[in-house]
Chains A and B, each alone.
Chain A
Amino acid sequence: MLLNALHLALREIRRNLLRSLLTVLGIVIGVAAVITLVTLGNGATVMVKQQISALGSNLVVMRPGQRLGPGHDEAGAPPFRREDADAIAAEIRGIAAVAPVVSATVTLVAGAANWSSSVTGSTNAYFPAGNWRLAQGRLFSDDEEQAGKAVCIIGETVRAKLFAGEPPLGSSLRVKSFGCEVIGVLAAKGQGAMGMDQDDTVILPLVTAQRRLTNSRAVGTVMISLRDGVSAATAITDITTLMRERRKLTEAQENNFSLMDTRQIAETLSGTIGTMTTLLGAVAAVSLLVGGIGIMNIMLVSVTERTREIGIRLAIGATGREVLTQFLTEAVVLSACGGLAGMALALLACLGLAGALSMPFLFNPGINGLAFGVSAVVGVIFGYMPARRAAALDPIDALRRE
């Protein structure tokens, strides 16, 4: 009997192909939207984790102010000095490199070309701490670092934008208002967390940047790279103690600086993305519901339109239950087909979008199964009412209806 009902349902759907397609469009879009959003969200989470671990797996970043993220009060907190970085390097065990960092976004000019980029002032310790390698040229010499000479090391993007086709080493690059000599080019790293281009960067010696760009002895952040096997938690505790001493904080005062290791950053970010994904998925799920209402609407119209047919079937000897099964099957087959089409559409959309956003594509069987299951359930729920109305028809009345 179920096979019969399935046969009848498919025949009816084929007979009204265009209407059936329009009916399930809501379900198709709903399922596709849920799957696409969740799949892309998962891809983004994975990508962020990968990029942060590419930063250096054992990296601790120290910033002024209490916490990272929105609303952190950097304003009241005193900045760091280069001596803070030296003290950490000297006094804390298990440290591989400590790099004091100042940064600014400025305009670069080389020849006739100009380009706006992020300029960082730091020491040679910045390169191991940030997992950077040189593609060509050399690092800063001690003399250049101490005297604040006008030399710079550029990222791959800056090289491509300003020195396309020319050897960059030895060329002059104007950074804001002063010219400096390019002594090295960094190997490309690609897109970073939050989609920034990590290679769009210029590194100056710290003293040069402080004198010529920020005009202050302050250090914005301190990057601390730990040796392999050193616990970030222990290091953070030690550094906190040291920094509280150096900043002369009494026991009653809270830290006016914050330390975060990359794993923590990764977790915070992927947590945020996860929340966003859930939220967007929930919004998309509403469209599934709307799709279900579309199915109910069309099935009700269909029952009214086919009243006479139902009368004939009942007169011929169909039981109310069989009529109910027929219409319910039709609704479920419709919505399940919609679910399958939605899954196919989502697959295409995910492949396309993951490619366009250069994100990893991860097929998620869970969300596919869930979305398909929900679409079938939507068919049962929203198909039941029209089907019951059909089954409850009086054959005499139904036959009399034109």
Chain B
Amino acid sequence: MTAAAPLIRLSALTRVYGRGDTAVAALRGIDLSLCQGDFLAIMGASGSGKSTLMNILGCLDTPSGGEYRFGAIAVETLNQTQRALLRRHRLGFVFQGFNLLARTSAQENVELPLLYRGLPAARRREAALAALDLVGLSDRAGHTPAELSGGQQQRVAIARAIVTDPAVLLADEPTGNLDTARSHAIMDLLTRLNRERGLTVIMVTHEEDMAAYAGRTLHLRDGLIDRDSGRDNARPLLTETAPCC
């Protein structure tokens, strides 16, 4: 992949819920390009369409109209299974509510995506421990979510998201359930992953100081892009050689 090609390109993307008179347009025409290594924060009031956009970017939902290119893939033409495989191989998810499997150790939670990749147990273990080490939790591998603090649970969730070495990390209000100190720690972690590993991060948030970590901020209003800060050139990316968009 050359640096000049955008990783994600949305054109005239729409999403309409319901039909006929009761139809509600959540997204009314989004145009967006993202490069590998970008750190995008999506902001907006509730009902602005930011969650819908996130779900479509995460291939959990399908657009009603427009185009979604992920690399060379036309995502809007994929069926359910193909989207699942795209998620498995290229995307990682972090949620507001952590969404770890209960009564399951941190290590097993991190191994979960690798299980679906069909990796043998020894390599799963190795990769999971490496990912936990990266988020600073190598000493908590055997703990279940109930034995971990909120910040630690979110770190485990981040380890689970990056253990497959995805192209894009999608974080839906990753600090929404955390206090300020832990929120900043999580944002530092995401920033570090973005800078050091060139991981593309897309984050939904409603907190300005969390959005400040991102290189680019998108404000949505009523299903349209209201404001786009554009790339923050004051924060050059390590992996980047030339701007792609």
B120 nearest CB across to chain A (Å): 10
Q: Which of A232-240, A312-320, A378-386 contacts B (4 or more CB under 8 A)?
A: A312-320
Interface check B184, CB cutoff 8 A:
no
B1 nearest CB across to chain A (Å): 21
Interface string of A250-292 (1 = CB under 8 A from B): 0000000000000000000000000000000000000000000
A320 closest partner in B (C-beta): B80
Interface check A395, CB cutoff 8 A:
yes
A321 closest partner in B (C-beta): B81
A1 touches B118 (CB 8 A): yes
A322 closest partner in B (C-beta): B116
Docked complex Cα distance between A4 and B84 (Å)? 18
Do most interface residues of chain A lie in helix, strand or loop, or is the interface mixed? helix
A297 nearest CB across to chain B (Å): 22
Which of A316, A320, A321: most chain B Cβ within 10 A? A316
A308 closest partner in B (C-beta): B99
A315 touches B115 (CB 8 A): no
Interface check A197, CB cutoff 8 A:
no
A396 touches B113 (CB 8 A): no
Docked complex Cα distance between A309 and B103 (Å)? 12
Which residue of A1, A313, A319 is within 8 Å of B85 (Cβ)?
A: A319
B81 closest partner in A (C-beta): A319
Residues of B within 8 A of A395 (CB): 60
Interface check B112, CB cutoff 8 A:
yes
B116 touches A318 (CB 8 A): yes
The interface on chain A, measured as residues whose beta carbon lies within 8 A of the other chain's beta carbons, has a size of 21
The interface on chain B, measured as residues whose beta carbon lies within 8 A of the other chain's beta carbons, has a size of 27
A315 touches B61 (CB 8 A): no
Residues of B within 8 A of A312 (CB): 99-101, 112
A315 touches B85 (CB 8 A): no
Interface check A248, CB cutoff 8 A:
no
Residues of B within 8 A of A317 (CB): 84-85, 87-89, 91, 113, 116-117, 164
Interface check A6, CB cutoff 8 A:
no
Enumerate B88-127 residues with CB–CB distance to A below 8 Å: 88-89, 91, 93, 95, 99-103, 112-113, 115-118
Interface check A399, CB cutoff 8 A:
yes
B34 nearest CB across to chain A (Å): 20
Enumerate A309-366 residues with CB–CB distance to B below 8 Å: 309, 311-322
Total number of residue pairs linking A and B with CB closer than 8 Å: 57
A364 nearest CB across to chain B (Å): 40
Which residue of A311, A318, A399 is within 8 Å of B84 (Cβ)?
A: A318
B103 touches A316 (CB 8 A): no
Docked complex Cα distance between A319 and B85 (Å)? 7
Q: Given A396-B55, A399-B99, are A320 and B81 also a contact pair (CB < 8 Å)?
A: yes
B95 touches A399 (CB 8 A): yes
Enumerate A379-402 residues with CB–CB distance to B below 8 Å: 395-396, 399
A309 nearest CB across to chain B (Å): 6
A316 touches B116 (CB 8 A): yes
A323 closest partner in B (C-beta): B84
Interface check B160, CB cutoff 8 A:
yes
Residues of B within 8 A of A316 (CB): 87-88, 93, 112-113, 116, 160
Interface check B6, CB cutoff 8 A:
no
B89 closest partner in A (C-beta): A317
Docked complex Cα distance between A205 and B55 (Å)? 101
B194 nearest CB across to chain A (Å): 21
Interface string of B171-213 (1 = CB under 8 A from A): 0000000000000000000000000000000000000000000
B85 nearest CB across to chain A (Å): 7
Interface check B58, CB cutoff 8 A:
yes
A309 closest partner in B (C-beta): B101
Docked complex Cα distance between A315 and B117 (Å)? 14
Interface string of B67-90 (1 = CB under 8 A from A): 000000000000011001101110
Query: Could you tell me which B residues sit within 8 Å of A by CB distance?
Result: 55, 58, 60-61, 80-81, 84-85, 87-89, 91, 93, 95, 99-103, 112-113, 115-118, 160, 164
For the complex of A and B, list the 5 residue pairs with the smallest distance between their C-beta atoms, beginning with the closest: A317-B88, A319-B84, A317-B87, A316-B113, A319-B81
Given pairs A316-B93, A316-B112, A320-B84, 6 additional interface contacts (CB within 8 A):
A4-B118, A313-B112, A316-B88, A316-B116, A399-B95, A399-B99
A-B contact pairs, 19 of them (CB 8 A): A4-B115, A4-B118, A309-B102, A312-B100, A313-B116, A314-B60, A315-B60, A316-B87, A317-B89, A317-B113, A317-B116, A317-B117, A318-B88, A318-B116, A319-B84, A319-B85, A320-B84, A321-B81, A396-B55
